[in-house]
Each structure stands twice: as structure tokens, then as C-alpha cells.
Amino acid sequence: MFFDINKGIKVSYVCLACHEKEEIPLNVVKDFDLMNGGDPTTPPMFSCEKCGEQMYPEYYKGVHGIEYKLSDIR
Ligand SMILES: [Zn+2]
């Protein structure tokens, strides 16, 4: 029997332009992170459904152990 510890955990993303919030499942964020490849200085980013601008995670610790906080870029 498998138990996925990531199941149900979500990362809060905030749009940098209109401040719309979206909860994105952690496993989806991690998949993006892994595909992101080369650049560990930026977290996986998603497009805002309202305005199309980039969304930044409120708090996310990446697969490379780097922490990203929305407060860092404000
Ligand atoms: Zn937006």
C-alpha cells in the first residue's frame, strides 16, 4: 500500500499584477519545478487565470531545497 505524503497539500500562489490567489497542488508545483531544469533562482510560475500575468508562490520550498517567499520580491 502506498501513502503519498504530498496528497492534499497545496501551495498558495498570488498574482503579481492583480493579486488573485490560487491554490495549486504541491505535486503539480513539484512537477513544474523538476521540468524547470536549469534555473533554481526562480520558483515554478503559473499564469493568472484572470489577467495572464505571472503568479508567485506565497511560500514554497523547491526540490533543490531553496525557499521562495512572496515577501522576498516585494
Ligand atoms: Zn492576475
| Per-residue pLDDT tens over the stretch 16-45 | 999 999 999 999 999 999 887 667 788 999
Q: Would you tell me how many other CB atoms lie within 10 Å of the CB of residue 2?
A: 3
CA of 25 to the centre of ligand 1 (A): 19
Per-residue pLDDT, 25:
95
pTM of the entire predicted model:
0.84
48 with 18: CB under 8 angstroms?
yes
Residue 55 has pLDDT above 70, yes or no: yes
CA of 46 to the centre of ligand 1 (A): 10
CA of 67 to the centre of ligand 1 (A): 23
Q: What is the mean pLDDT of residues 38-54?
A: 91
Q: Give the neighbor-by-neighbor strand order of the sheet with 21-25.
A: 21-25, 10-15, 54-57, 46-47
CA of 47 to the centre of ligand 1 (A): 8
CA of 1 to the centre of ligand 1 (A): 40
